[in-house]
Amino acid sequence: MSNREPNKAEGFLQCANCKKIIFSVDFEQNLSVCPYCGHHHRLSASKRIEITFDPGSFRELDQELSSLNPLDFPEYAEKLASAVEKQQTNDSMTSGLAALDGIPVCVAVSDFNFMGGSMGAVNGEKITRTLERAADSGNPAIIFCASGGARMQEGLLSLMQMAKTTAAAQRCSKLGVPYFAVFSDPTMAGVLASYASVADVILAEPKALVGFAGLRVSKQAGVGKVPDDFQTAEFALHHGMIDRVVPRKEMRATLIQLTKMLGGFKTHV
Ligand SMILES: [Zn+2]
């Protein structure tokens, strides 16, 4: 990190955590992690794919899938259309095939910027297809989670994605095909309580929010005083919910190591 003075023409921004000013170019080079306090800012799906997988290896699939408004939920169609236009994608989940140090992997990456990364029917279908492609091919599945939970506007159709995605993960497990999940900020509610928690290896980014009900709801439920690190990746690690907290700059190398160690053991098709 340089110690130059910020210059408006050069572009700079403020850390969401420590509020210090960071040069955009330094922020970019540091993978959107604050060089002062280490805060991991949220990434778009495209940026996550770019910094994780082999350059040019990602091939998107399922992009033709788009959500309907099955319950005719008020304002859902407008919110969806706005998110599609703003994010230039049909859903909060991006899925496809990629490579990690030359090893083929089936991937799905959630983007919190698209309606809070919420899991509706399309999101769940993309996760399911990713896990089924892994089961069919024997190549590891890697899913980056970033979600507030199920998409309430789709009601039960959204909730049933929890069972569907978990069943797909179970199929990988039965076949001996590894499935790795990465919890980024936030990994909550129906996502945490379904496919995210049943991965063979669960990694998380530092300080990522990880939990079922949010802090406010937990307090309303009368849990009393909660620890300072309540519902963080570190808290989840300490309580055995996840396997490792991995800084963003080490994530790609860690996933390569895992695919090399645990890939290639498919028992049967
Ligand atoms: Zn900071």
Residue 9: pLDDT over 70:
no
What would the two tokens of residue 77 be? 């169609």
Contact present, 101 and 55 (Cβ < 8 Å): no
34 vs 27: CA distance, rounded Å: 7
Q: How far is the CA of 52 from the centre of ligand 1 (A)?
A: 22
Name the fold adopted by 42-262.
2-enoyl-CoA Hydratase; Chain A, domain 1 (3.90.226)
Please give the model's pTM, rounded to 2 decimal places: 0.88
| pLDDT 10s digits, 158-204 | 899 999 999 999 999 999 999 999 999 999 888 888 998 899 999 99
Q: How far is the CA of 17 from the centre of ligand 1 (A)?
A: 5
Q: How far is the CA of 39 from the centre of ligand 1 (A)?
A: 5
Please give the C-alpha separations between residue 175 and each of 135, 138, 163, 168, 178, in angstroms, as whole numbers.
Answer: 7, 8, 19, 11, 9
171 vs 191: CA distance, rounded Å: 18
Residue 215: pLDDT over 50:
yes
Phi, then psi, of 139 in degrees rounded to 5: -80, 145
269 vs 260: CA distance, rounded Å: 20
Q: How far is the CA of 33 from the centre of ligand 1 (A)?
A: 8
Q: How far is the CA of 114 from the centre of ligand 1 (A)?
A: 24
| pLDDT 10s digits, 101-124 | 999 999 999 999 989 889 999 999
Domain ranges within the chain, ordered by starting residue: 7-41, 42-262
CA within 13 Å, CB half, 250 = 10
pLDDT of residue 3: 45
User: pLDDT band at residue 53, thresholds of 50, 70 and 90?
Assistant: very high
SS3 call for 122: helix
Q: How far is the CA of 148 from the centre of ligand 1 (A)?
A: 23
Q: How far is the CA of 16 from the centre of ligand 1 (A)?
A: 7
Element spanning 215, H or E: helix 215-220
